[in-house]
Amino acid sequence: MFDCIIVGSGPAGGTAAYHLAKKGRSVLVLEKESLPRYKPCGGGVSPVVANWFDFDFSAAISLKVSTIRYTWDMDDPVEAELNTPEPIWMVRRDIFDHFLMQQAQKQGAELRDNTEVTGIEFKGSHWQVNTAKGFVEGKYLIAADGAKGPMAKWLGFKDRKRLIGGALEAEAMTQIENGHMAHFEFGMVKNGYIWNFPKADGYSIGIGAFRGSEPQNLREIVTEYSKIFGVDFKSIKQVGHPLCLWDGDQTLHTQQAVLAGEAACVVDPFTAEGIRPSMFSGLKASEAIDKALSGNINALAEYTQVIAEEWGSDMVWAQRLAAVFYRLPGVGYRLGIKRPSATQKFGQILCGNLRYQDIAGNAIKKLSNSLIPGRG
């Protein structure tokens, strides 16, 4: 009988496993793939996550980025420095996720990869988790199985609000021109952007649409963009995947179980940043489970409240900003992104030194005023 069974070994699951095991709890992580496993992801990570751990992440970081380059329809470029206390990390998710899981194992967490969960049953006082290799039992569950995972539905979260975005990504193994610069393109895709994040051995190129349902040929658009970097996007393996964007506060707990990571829809609705919020939710989930195991009957409900107050309250502003920016992307590019201060504020948000609520009101006002004749 484990204290906690975690389904999924991504950033949320690995974070929760590490902290629960460090507190002496018996933890089992179930992962359907064999680790390390490929995961399509731009791989930009805020260095603020280091504050939540007591070990060095250097071995899991491919390189660090301090400069952002933006373009509008592959033209009108602008470069800006992030000016963050530490550059943004660029990671390959197979390495990063596995490294985090290994740290959890060093604390005593047990990992069973290549083990797909086939169903769950509540047995009155604990959970039975069925797998293709038999069943296991745990007092508590953390569902951290991502945007496409079945755990949320099995736990009864069937009618929850979900704002689904879509992304198409590919890894290009090639010599990179500037390893300390990340690229964003805003003019070619509606309701989203294209990104090119450098790694030590190539690029992670992707395209995402985060709002609306207007049909777009994302593959053709990103293929054209990739030519700038000498990459034939169509010739490399492409992976499409959904993004569970935050769309308002929701219940994240049920009988002796919580949702974390993309299963909890914590992805930033403006930038589609997912790794930092997933790790934050894993951290808070571990704290809640630990308190519940110590007898706090309100701990899981408090987890829902903590995510709403400490993450969701600011995502309200991110969502408002996204609604205006992606409706007026050309104006947003001209009035916002082209200003160096915009990148610096973005960096401060990523590092937790600034919140959307501190800047969104003024930004939304500027964008809205541009619609008024004579004020654009």
**pLDDT, tens digit (0-9, with 9 covering 90-100), for 295-343:** 999 999 999 999 999 999 999 999 999 989 998 899 999 988 988 888 8
Residue 376's pLDDT is 41
State residue 144's pLDDT score: 98
Q: Whole-number mean pLDDT of the chain?
A: 92
Asked whether residue 375 carries a pLDDT value surpassing 70, the answer given is no
pLDDT at position 133 over 60: yes
Q: Which pLDDT belongs to residue 142?
A: 98
Rounded Cα distance between 21 and 25, Å, is 5
The pLDDT of residue 158 is 76
User: Domains in the chain, please, with CATH?
Assistant: 2-61+90-160+246-315 (3.50.50.60), 163-244 (3.30.9.10), 319-369 (no CATH)
Q: Label residue 172 by pLDDT band (50, 70, 90).
A: confident
Q: DSSP for 164-198, please give it.
A: EEEEEEEEEES--S-TTEEEEE-SSSTTEEEEEEE
The residue among 339 and 13 whose pLDDT is bigger is: 13
Q: What are the b/e assignments for 27-49, b being 16+ CB within 10 Å?
A: bbbbbbeeebbebbbbbbbbbbb
pLDDT score for 310: 96
- On the question of pLDDT at 52 being above 90, the answer is yes
- Lowest mean pLDDT, pick from 26-40, 176-190, 283-297: 176-190
Residue 179 has a pLDDT of 62
| pLDDT value of residue 365 | 84
pLDDT at 340: 82
- What is the arithmetic mean of pLDDT over 75-100? 93
238-264 per-position pLDDT tens digit: 999 888 999 998 999 999 999 999 999
Amino acid at 24: G
Q: What is the pLDDT of residue 339?
A: 86
CA distances from 129 to 9, 15, 143, 238, 353 (A): 16, 21, 11, 33, 40
Q: Per-residue pLDDT for 209 more than 70? A: yes
Sequence-distant (≥ 6) Cβ neighbours of residue 134 within 8 angstroms: none
- Does residue 163 or residue 26 have the better pLDDT? 26
* pLDDT of 109: 98
* Gap between the Cα atoms of 51 and 295, Å rounded: 28
* 72 or 374, which is more confident: 72
Given pLDDT bands bounded at 50, 70 and 90, which one contains residue 374? very low
